[in-house]
């Protein structure tokens, strides 16, 4: 435990159940408060910082899901555990989508409760707790090789934690270069399979005629050239995790074979008759919309639903501009160590250019740019001149914000707020000062923009 005890808020309208939860947690040295409704919980969060929220799903008035969403948006440093008597996969996924870190099924097993809370308490130094709707969340999170400051990446990190608690199939979606394999490795490293192998397979790089052999292995003489028996990737990943990248490129027959493995946990080698058990956790990734592909009959719908049990969506870098500068600093420091260079600084003019560029290649492109810039810099400072011309051409002048003629006032406000935030390197305190609004108002606007984006599907 830390020197300062962790604080937990229990939201439960059943008095006897609440008393039991409070007593269990207090025995572990936690400071525990209790309220009986979501509305009262929000009042407490506006006054106090909590490391963990423990809330029932069914509450009078505001539901536990809605409370989860509001707390996760306003206090991303708080871990949220949902208590439900209806612990289905759909409930878990829905809770995950709204920011839950974990869920527990009634009746509560005290050992599972204490284990879950202890694990979350141990991780809280990565997520500094903050009062609901507090002024500023400037701390940078480093999580399993990833770096993020934005609320959306904090949410991804919590989704990884939840996914690691089970053996359910994970589907990671996101544009090329967003770091899908890093997420897959993080799920593996946080899971009970961490001591087992992590096997990564790019299915798009394997010809359709060989993919079945690569995944499931083959027996001697199974086809021309099969002079010896060969283990497949499922065998190599035994008791570990198999990462299937570019899953959308898989041919129809292999999709059928993979579906059978996910349904029966068994498979046979190509040309073989012996059925083999698959003690493997499958994590798949794609930069395509599998739902749309299945609707167009270009991907099996039943396989899509088998894969889409625990989805993790990685946003493009342009949609989480707060993360650009922390990533840039982290990447250039790593490259400097690799090449034996001294610590390198990024002056304000360079930071402005990096923060205002859209990064169509995402983190992969940023990594390449920072490596190139380091190698082109003779001094310990990366000046704007060494950055690629495409970044200079794409970036407006320092104080220029472009608003298309005919835009609505709401669109203009969004552009002004987000552009100012990017120009200030994601620093919400400075952004609020420049815009002449309170930081509370800025957080409200950013939350509204995110909800509008989700509704529009863009």
Sequence ranges of the domains in the chain:
7-132, 166-314, 318-456
Does the domain spanning 318-456 belong to CATH 3.30.950.10? no
Helix (H) or strand (E) holding 447: helix 439-456
How much is the pLDDT for 18?
A: 92
pLDDT tens track for 390-419: 998 876 544 556 666 677 888 788 888 887
- For 269, the token pair is 């080698």
**Residue 304, C-beta contacts closer than 8 angstroms, at least 6 positions apart:** 290, 291, 293, 294
CA separation for the pair 264, 254 (Å, rounded): 15
CA separation for the pair 255, 244 (Å, rounded): 12
The more confident residue out of 223 and 102 is 102
CA separation for the pair 176, 184 (Å, rounded): 14
- How sure is the predictor about 23, in pLDDT bands with cuts at 50, 70 and 90? very high
CATH superfamily of 166-314: P-loop containing nucleotide triphosphate hydrolases (3.40.50.300)
CATH superfamily of 7-132: Response regulator (3.40.50.2300)
Q: What average pLDDT does this structure show over 122-148?
A: 59
CA separation for the pair 175, 166 (Å, rounded): 26
**Least confident piece of the model among 57-61, 134-138, 430-434:** 134-138
How much is the pLDDT for 127?
A: 40
Give pairs for 445-450: CB < 8 Å, separation 24+: 445/413, 445/417, 446/417, 446/421, 447/73, 449/414, 449/417, 449/418, 450/151, 450/152
Q: What average pLDDT does this structure show over 136-149?
A: 73
CA separation for the pair 123, 145 (Å, rounded): 15
Other beta carbons within 10 angstroms of residue 70's beta carbon come to 20
- CA-based radius of gyration for the chain: 24
Helices H / strands E in the chain, number of each:
19, 14
Q: What average pLDDT does this structure show over 65-74?
A: 82
Given a contact cutoff of 8 angstroms between Cβ atoms, the answer to whether 420 and 321 are in contact is no
* Whole-number Cα distances in Å, 146 to 183, 185, 300, 391, 416: 8, 11, 32, 24, 29
Q: Is 318-456 in the same CATH topology as 166-314?
A: no
CA separation for the pair 370, 28 (Å, rounded): 46
Closest CA to 69 of 34, 43, 38: 38
Residue length of the chain:
458
Mean pLDDT of all residues belonging to the chain? 84
């Amino acid at each position: 435990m830390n020197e300062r005890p962790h604080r937990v808020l229990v939201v439960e309208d059943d008095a006897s159940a609440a008393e039991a939860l409070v007593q269990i947690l207090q025995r572990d040295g936690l400071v525990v408060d209790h309220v009986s409704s979501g509305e009262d919980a929000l009042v407490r969060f506006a006054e106090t910082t909590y490391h963990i929220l423990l809330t029932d799903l069914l509450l009078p008035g505001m539901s536990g899901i809605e409370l989860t969403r509001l707390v996760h948006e306003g206090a991303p440093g708080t871990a949220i555990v949902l208590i439900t008597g209806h612990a289905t996969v759909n409930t878990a996924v829905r809770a995950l989508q709204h920011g839950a870190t974990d869920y527990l099924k009634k009746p509560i097993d005290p050992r599972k409760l204490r284990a879950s809370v202890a694990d979350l308490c141990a991780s809280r130094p990565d997520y500094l707790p903050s009062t609901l709707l507090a002024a500023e969340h400037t701390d940078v999170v480093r999580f399993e090789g990833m770096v993020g400051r934005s609320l959306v990446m904090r949410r991804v990190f919590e989704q990884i934690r939840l996914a690691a608690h089970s053996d359910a199939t994970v589907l990671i979606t996101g544009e090329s270069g967003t770091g899908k394999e890093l997420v897959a490795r993080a799920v593996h490293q946080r899971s009970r399979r961490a001591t087992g192998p992590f096997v990564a397979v790019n299915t798009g790089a394997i010809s359709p005629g060989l993919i079945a052999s690569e995944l499931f292995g083959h027996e001697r003489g199974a086809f021309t050239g099969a002079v010896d028996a060969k283990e497949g990737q499922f065998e190599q990943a035994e008791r570990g995790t198999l990462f299937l990248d570019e899953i959308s490129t898989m041919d129809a027959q292999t999709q059928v074979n993979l579906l059978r493995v996910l349904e029966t946990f068994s498979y046979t080698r190509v040309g073989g008759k012996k059925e083999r058990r698959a003690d493997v956790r499958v994590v798949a990734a794609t930069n395509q919309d599998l739902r749309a592909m299945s609707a167009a009959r270009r991907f099996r719908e039943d396989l899509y639903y088998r894969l889409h049990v625990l989805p993790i969506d990685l946003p493009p870098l342009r949609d989480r501009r707060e993360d650009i500068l922390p990533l840039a600093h982290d990447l250039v420091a790593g490259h400097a160590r690799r090449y034996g260079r001294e610590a390198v600084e990024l002056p304000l003019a360079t930071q402005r250019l990096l923060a205002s560029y859209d990064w169509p290649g995402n983190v992969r492109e940023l990594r390449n740019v920072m490596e190139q810039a380091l190698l082109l810099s003779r001094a310990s400072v990366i000046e704007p001149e060494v950055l690629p011309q495409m970044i200079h051409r794409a970036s407006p002048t320092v104080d220029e914000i472009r608003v298309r003629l005919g835009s609505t006032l709401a669109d203009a406000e969004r552009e002004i707020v987000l552009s100012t935030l990017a120009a200030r390197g994601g620093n919400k305190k400075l952004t609020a000062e420049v815009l002449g609004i309170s930081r509370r108002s800025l957080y409200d606007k950013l939350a509204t923009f995110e909800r509008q984006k989700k509704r529009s599907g863009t």
